[in-house]
A and B are shown apart, each in its own frame.
Chain A
Amino acid sequence: MKSAVLIFPGSNRERDAARALKLISGHAPAMVFHAETELPAGTDLVVLPGGFSYGDYLRCGAIAAHAPIMEAVRSHVRRGGLAIGICNGFQILCEAELLPGVLLRNSGIKFLCREVCLRIERSDTPFTRGYNAGQVIRVPIAHGEGSYFASPATIARLENEGRVLFRYTAPDGSRNEAWNVNGSTNAIAGVLSEKLNVLGLMPHPENHVESAIGSTDGRGFFAGLVAHFAQAA
């Protein structure tokens, strides 16, 4: 699995993503600067990391969405390559219109830095084959603008097409608004593109990959990707 992690001015989770990718895939990802116009040849997976690109000015992700490297990301995605946007990366992919919808200010206004329970809605995607459908994992979130919003028609389409990949739930996997911490529509924590090759999610699976941290629930995310590419090769 050849991966690339993008760095925008204000990204701050790129090393977390790179560390998890190296730990689980055995290969360090290429670190690619926003001003580049090409991804390294043979890139399988692009990761847009968390952070505060351009200081979250204008709208979160709005300015990074127009960075030179994003044209290369578009081409990569058009060819069927995989892309993941985590947290600010999710916001960037939405602003770049590579994913539908937008992330609004958390319904409770406050920045939330805590653990959440995430239900895996399906396991037959490259991003979730390391999990079982319906499984609940615990991963951290750290965001002020994570409330997923899209038009009712778009939400209906996402639900009907099985493009909601992660949902905020109670620890037993049941839907409960008390656990939908940022007020996302339908408790959506992660969505897929139409061709299922682009994923955006607010939580940080890359931060739960080492037992020293207290949880390894995020390992399946990366292990599943490694298995996907091992099988494809």
Chain B
Amino acid sequence: MRARVTVTLKSGVLDPQGKAIEGALKALGIAGVASVRQGKVFDIELEGEDVARAEGALKDAAEKLLANPIIENYRIEVVG
């Protein structure tokens, strides 16, 4: 089973890397870029076929390690 955990910065948390990327995109002349926030994507292979159990394990993983709840939100998708 494959899953994806997406970690994004909470709104209000300063993201100088996102700002730098935003500046670079504007410098490249890419039209219509209003703002950029940088995040992280984790593609995870899981053993077994129990989706509920996988979601439980991924929630545990996200809360214990993949995301820092002070500054980040996370989203879990089991992609089959």
Asked if A109 is an interface residue, CB under 8 A from chain B, the answer is yes
Q: Give the docked Cα–Cα distance between A63 and B46 (Å).
A: 21
Which of these, A59, A63, A106, A147, contacts B68 with CB under 8 Å?
A59
Which of these, A62, A95, A107, contacts B14 with CB under 8 Å?
A107
Interface with B: A42-50, A97-105, A130-138, which one?
A97-105
Residue interface mask A144-182, B partner, CB < 8 A = 1: 000101110000000000000000000000000000000
User: In the complex, which residues of chain B have a beta carbon less than 8 angstroms from the beta carbon of A102?
Assistant: 68, 70-71
User: In the complex, which residues of chain A have a beta carbon less than 8 angstroms from the beta carbon of B70?
Assistant: 101-102, 149-151
Binding site for A on B (CB under 8 A): 13-17, 20, 64-66, 68, 70-71
Nearest Cβ on chain A to B29's Cβ, whole angstroms: 22
Is the CB–CB distance between B17 and A109 below 8 Å? yes
Q: Which A-B residue pairs are the 4 nearest by beta carbons?
A: A109-B16, A102-B70, A105-B16, A102-B71
Q: Which residue of B lies closest to A108 (CB)?
A: B16
Interface size class of A (residues with CB under 8 A): 10 to 19
User: In the complex, which residues of chain A have a beta carbon less than 8 angstroms from the beta carbon of B65?
Assistant: 58, 62-63, 66
Nearest Cβ on chain B to A108's Cβ, whole angstroms: 7
Q: Give the docked Cα–Cα distance between A105 and B71 (Å).
A: 12
User: In the complex, which residues of chain B have a beta carbon less than 8 angstroms from the beta carbon of A150?
Assistant: 70
Q: Give the docked Cα–Cα distance between A150 and B71 (Å).
A: 8
Interface contact tally, CB-CB below 8 A: 34
Q: A59-B68, A102-B70 are in contact. List 20 more A-B contacts (CB 8 A).
A: A58-B66, A62-B65, A62-B68, A66-B64, A95-B68, A101-B70, A102-B68, A102-B71, A104-B71, A105-B16, A105-B17, A107-B14, A107-B16, A109-B16, A109-B17, A109-B20, A149-B70, A150-B70, A151-B70, A183-B14
Within 8 A of B (CB), among A77-105: 95, 101-102, 104-105
User: In the complex, which residues of chain B have a beta carbon less than 8 angstroms from the beta carbon of A62?
Assistant: 65, 68
Q: Which of B20, B66, B70 has the most CB of A within 10 A?
A: B70
User: In the complex, which residues of chain A have a beta carbon less than 8 angstroms from the beta carbon of B13?
Assistant: 104, 149
Q: Give the docked Cα–Cα distance between A58 and B14 (Å).
A: 18
Q: Which residue of B lies closest to A151 (CB)?
A: B70
Nearest Cβ on chain A to B26's Cβ, whole angstroms: 16
Within 8 A of B (CB), among A51-79: 58-59, 62-63, 66
User: In the complex, which residues of chain A have a beta carbon less than 8 angstroms from the beta carbon of B64?
Assistant: 66
Residue interface mask A21-32, B partner, CB < 8 A = 1: 000000000000
> 14 A-B contacts, Cβ less than 8 Å apart?
A59-B68, A62-B68, A66-B65, A95-B68, A102-B70, A104-B14, A105-B16, A107-B14, A109-B16, A109-B17, A109-B20, A147-B14, A149-B13, A149-B14
Nearest Cβ on chain B to A106's Cβ, whole angstroms: 7
Q: Give the docked Cα–Cα distance between A112 and B26 (Å).
A: 26
Q: Which residue of A lies closest to B42 (CB)?
A: A58
Q: Give the docked Cα–Cα distance between A151 and B13 (Å).
A: 10
